[in-house]
Amino acid sequence: MAKILFMKYDFRKMKLLYLASIVLFAPLGYSTENILSAYSYMLLISTIVPTSLFTYEQRADCGFDLMLPAKEGDRIAGRYLISAVTIIYEFLLGTVIAFILTKTTQAVWFDISVIFKFFVGGILICMSIELCILYIIGRGINPQVRSVMIMLPNMIIWGIAYAAINIFSDKLSSAKGIFSNFEMLGNIVLIVSLIFYIASMYVSTYIVKKKDFR
């Protein structure tokens, strides 16, 4: 129960970012005629929103959440839960945009289950690494340096994904058939990502417990 409460606590801190993903990023996703490019914008926001919580902690008074009656593991589990919820939320938003694109442009529709596995699985693996690094860094680092360390990996991940999609955009018609053959690989990516994510949560908990402060 405490894990859910901390997830809700984190949600209250960043609920405006959820709105921003609709108001700012959804129109960017709709500006393309490639549904994979639309998903790439949601990929970016799904990594920025959870990691922005660490920037918030650097700026705001962090004493209150540490005074709440809960185990350190509950706080961290809540952070991991809200990150996973954010990924699913952004995927659903990307799917809505992709559906609208197929109805209003010449965009090609792909197997949604395959997109889901690679979208969620890929981001979970990235977040597993990034969240661990952020807990290792802790709160003692310079705020400006911390912000750069949060934003730069996200921008690099998005840049690589977006560039790859644009490079192969002229082959999307053939890619539709190729996607159907990626079902098993997608299953593997999703399973491995879940294992990574759960392991990352326990590693982060161990790291924080060994520190005097986050």
Looking at residue 144, its amino acid is Q
**Rg of the chain, C-alpha, whole Å:** 18
Question: Could you tell me what percent of the chain has a pLDDT over 70?
Answer: 74
Q: pLDDT per residue over 80-108, tens digit each?
A: 999 999 999 989 988 988 888 888 877 77
Judge whether residue 14 has pLDDT over 50.
Answer: yes
Is the pTM for the entire model greater than 0.85?
no
Q: pLDDT per residue over 20-72, tens digit each?
A: 788 877 777 676 777 777 787 788 888 888 887 777 665 444 555 555 566 77
Outline where DSSP puts E strands in the chain.
Answer: none
- Which residue, among 180, 139, 134, has the nearest Cα to 153 in the 3D structure? 134
Mean confidence (pLDDT) of the chain: 77
Q: pLDDT per residue over 143-179, tens digit each?
A: 666 667 667 777 777 777 767 666 655 555 455 555 5
Rounded Cα distance, 181 and 193, in Å: 20
Q: At a CB cut-off of 8 Å and minimum separation 6, what does 194 contact? A: 121, 124
Rounded Cα distance, 48 and 153, in Å: 10
Q: What is the pLDDT of residue 214?
A: 45
